[in-house]
């Protein structure tokens, strides 16, 4: 007898329906799974056999063939344990019912209990898209699945619950809808804790307002890390669409907890400089999202930028500009989103004191050049703002003056983002991420601003990308000022954020 149950597989962030077909026939006892399963699925044979026996069922002593269709797509993970078990029970006549409009997901323990799985949210979204009526999955994934409205979620703790449900002995209660509410968090990190550094604060505000990548360069102890760790406190709240997008990524990596199944705040990722290229951009034998994708809709902070491997740094170039990263393998090609605000920090030389107003640098010119050369021209060109963070003087650090709080800066940033959202007719588009066409279409330059741009382009030997970066930054500065027109003051300020390489990158 042949029996089939529906399940769902994952390919990156995309999901596809998997039909679990089981055939029981006469012959010597045999149990095999086909349809391009990975090793963890092959091991389902032992988990299913033990779970059946320990849940009060009989394991058929027949020839059992399980096919995961479509057979030309690789299947990963132990999520097919539950539908395989049910298909065997149904084919052997031990359970009956109409399962045609239901999805089954779950990893089994040897005792027949359901264990937490990864990737629930994108799977449930796919099920809703296909107009599936109900989905049965582990209890620990129920809150995450119930984010999606319009589909019945049945949480299961053990196989016995399913048995009683289908026999009508005890129905499984539906999981209530999980509400997504924005929370107002009191940050213990605040911009008011940073003394002085007014120019750097201004640059950080512009970066947050327009979604611009920023490089902080300065000696040790000047506050670069403090700025990076506080930038999340001035960024606008996430939209519902952004929450769902980000939660999907954390779902497939298994990083969501049962109690808080939704990412409500913008992620902040700070990978160590020893991170591998695959760890940063994603990949592996079974491709998974890297740090860039885990920071989607948030901030990724790369401290000690020159200490990262050259391969890892060069892998950043395309993703930070396009907002997506594609991982290609022989059998498939996966694309993950990575729309991030990159904050990078570095010293001007190995000892950290090149260009310091008071301390003497012990590095030779060649060592300084070699150190700075670790950051390639193409990568530097893709970072919108370059700002020098000077050492803090005694007058500022000992001052009792109350610096501006993050809440006030966030208010200005939020107002500028609202202007951009209205301009580009999108709730998640900003000056740094919009297309060149939309940028130019909505850009009004004064005559003085055009003349200043022409002089800067010729004297600074700007690339086409550098020229466009200045336009984007100037547009953000104008938005912060509440101006529709970009004037020469906005252009002048934007130009200074693109001139740091002329001071430090001596090899240029």
Q: Can you tell me the distance from the alpha carbon of 282 to that of 328, in angstroms, rounded to the nearest whole number?
A: 11
pLDDT average, residue stretch 389-410: 84
pLDDT average, residue stretch 349-358: 89
Q: What is the pLDDT of residues 244-266, one digit of tens each?
A: 999 999 999 988 887 889 999 99
pLDDT average, residue stretch 29-33: 92
Q: Can you tell me the distance from the alpha carbon of 504 to that of 351, in angstroms, rounded to the nearest whole number?
A: 15
Q: How confident is the model at residue 507 (pLDDT cuts 50, 70, 90)?
A: very low
| pLDDT for res 180 | 82
| pLDDT for res 406 | 92
- The mean of the pLDDT values for the chain is 90
Q: How confident is the model at residue 398 (pLDDT cuts 50, 70, 90)?
A: confident
Worst-scoring range by mean pLDDT, 159-163, 180-184, 192-196?
180-184
Q: Can you tell me the distance from the alpha carbon of 138 to that of 159, in angstroms, rounded to the nearest whole number?
A: 10
Residue 169 Rama label (left phi>0; alpha psi -120 to 50; beta): alpha
Q: Can you tell me the distance from the alpha carbon of 199 to that of 227, in angstroms, rounded to the nearest whole number?
A: 12
> Higher pLDDT residue, 473 or 459?
473
Tokens encoding 44: 């389902």
> Higher pLDDT residue, 185 or 112?
112
Q: Can you tell me the distance from the alpha carbon of 261 to that of 179, in angstroms, rounded to the nearest whole number?
A: 10
pLDDT average, residue stretch 6-28: 92
HEC assignment per residue over 266-292: CCEECCCCCCCHHHHHCECCCCECCHH
Does the structure show a pLDDT above 50 at 508? no
Which residues, other chains included, contact 475 with Cβ-Cβ below 8 Å and sequence gap of 6+?
Answer: 210, 431, 439, 443, 486, 490
- The residues that bridge with 69 in the sheet, in sequence order, are 19
Q: What is the pLDDT of residues 413-427, one digit of tens each?
A: 999 999 999 999 887
Q: What is the pLDDT of residues 75-110, one digit of tens each?
A: 998 999 999 999 999 999 888 888 889 999 999 999
Which residues, other chains included, contact 450 with Cβ-Cβ below 8 Å and sequence gap of 6+?
Answer: none
Does the structure show a pLDDT above 80 at 331? no
Q: What percent of the chain has pLDDT over 90?
A: 64
Does the structure show a pLDDT above 50 at 140? yes
Contacts 24+ apart (CB under 8 A), 149-157: 149/177, 151/124, 151/127, 153/124, 156/82, 156/106, 156/114, 157/113, 157/114
SS3 content of the chain, % helix, strand, coil (to 5): 40, 20, 40
Does the structure show a pLDDT above 60 at 506? no
Output the pTM of the full model: 0.91
| Domains of the chain with bracketed CATH | 2-167 (3.30.230.10), 191-504 (3.40.50.300)
Which residues, other chains included, contact 198 with Cβ-Cβ below 8 Å and sequence gap of 6+?
Answer: none
> Higher pLDDT residue, 306 or 397?
306
Contact indicator for 379, 466 with CB cutoff of 8 Å:
no
Contact indicator for 74, 105 with CB cutoff of 8 Å:
no
* Structure-token match 């799974």, residue found: 33
Q: Can you tell me the distance from the alpha carbon of 209 to that of 216, in angstroms, rounded to the nearest whole number?
A: 17
Q: How confident is the model at residue 457 (pLDDT cuts 50, 70, 90)?
A: confident
Query: Exposed, middle or buried, 350 (CB in 10 Å: 0-12/13-18/19+)?
Result: middle
């Amino acid at each position: 007898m042949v029996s089939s149950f529906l399940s769902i597989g994952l390919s990156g962030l995309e999901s596809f329906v998997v039909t679990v077909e089981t055939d029981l026939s006469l012959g010597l006892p045999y149990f095999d799974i086909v349809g391009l399963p990975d090793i963890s699925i092959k091991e389902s044979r032992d988990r299913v056999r033990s779970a059946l026996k320990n849940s009060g069922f009989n394991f058929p002593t027949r020839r059992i063939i399980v096919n995961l269709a479509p057979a030309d797509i690789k299947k990963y993970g132990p999520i097919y344990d539950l539908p395989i078990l049910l298909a065997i029970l149904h084919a052997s006549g031990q359970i009956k019912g109409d399962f045609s409009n239901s999805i089954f997901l779950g990893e089994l323990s040897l005792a027949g209990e359901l264990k937490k799985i990864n990737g629930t949210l994108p799977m449930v979204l796919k099920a809703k898209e296909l107009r599936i009526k109900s989905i049965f999955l582990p209890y620990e994934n129920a809150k995450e699945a119930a984010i999606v409205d319009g589909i019945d979620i049945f949480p299961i703790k053990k196989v016995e619950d399913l048995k009683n449900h289908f026999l009508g002995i005890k129905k499984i209660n539906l999981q209530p809808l999980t509400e997504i509410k924005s929370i107002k968090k009191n940050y213990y990190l605040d911009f008011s804790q940073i003394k002085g550094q007014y120019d750097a604060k201004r640059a950080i505000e512009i970066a947050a307002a327009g979604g611009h990548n920023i490089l902080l360069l300065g000696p040790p102890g000047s506050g670069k890390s403090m700025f990076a760790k506080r930038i999340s406190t001035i960024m606008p709240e996430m939209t519902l669409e952004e929450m769902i997008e980000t939660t999907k990524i954390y779902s497939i990596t298994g990083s969501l907890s049962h109690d808080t199944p939704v990412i409500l705040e913008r992620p902040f990722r700070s990978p160590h400089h020893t991170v591998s290229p695959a760890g940063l951009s994603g990949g592996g034998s079974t491709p998974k999202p890297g740090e860039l994708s885990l920071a989607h809709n948030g901030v990724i902070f790369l401290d000690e930028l020159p200490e990262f491997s050259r391969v890892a740094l060069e892998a950043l170039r395309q993703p930070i500009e396009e907002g997506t990263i594609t991982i290609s393998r022989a059998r498939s090609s996966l694309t993950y989103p990575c729309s991030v605000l990159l904050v990078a920090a570095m010293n001007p030389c190995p000892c950290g004191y090149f260009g310091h107003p008071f301390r003497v640098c012990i590095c030779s010119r060649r060592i300084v050049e070699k150190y700075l050369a670790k950051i390639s021209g193409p990568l530097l060109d893709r970072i919108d703002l370059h700002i020098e963070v000077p050492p803090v003087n005694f007058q500022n650090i000992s001052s009792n003056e109350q610096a501006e709080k993050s809440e006030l800066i966030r208010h200005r940033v939020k107002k500028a983002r609202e202007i951009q959202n209205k301009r580009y007719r999108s709730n998640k588009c900003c000056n740094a991420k919009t297309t060149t066409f939309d940028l130019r279409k909505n850009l009004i330059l004064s005559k003085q601003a055009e003349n200043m741009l022409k002089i800067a382009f010729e004297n600074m030997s700007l690339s086409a990308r550098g020229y466009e970066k200045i336009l984007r930054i100037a547009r953000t500065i104008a938005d912060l000022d509440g101006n529709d027109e970009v004037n020469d003051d906005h252009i002048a300020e934007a130009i200074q954020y693109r001139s740091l390489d002329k001071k430090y990158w001596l090899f240029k």
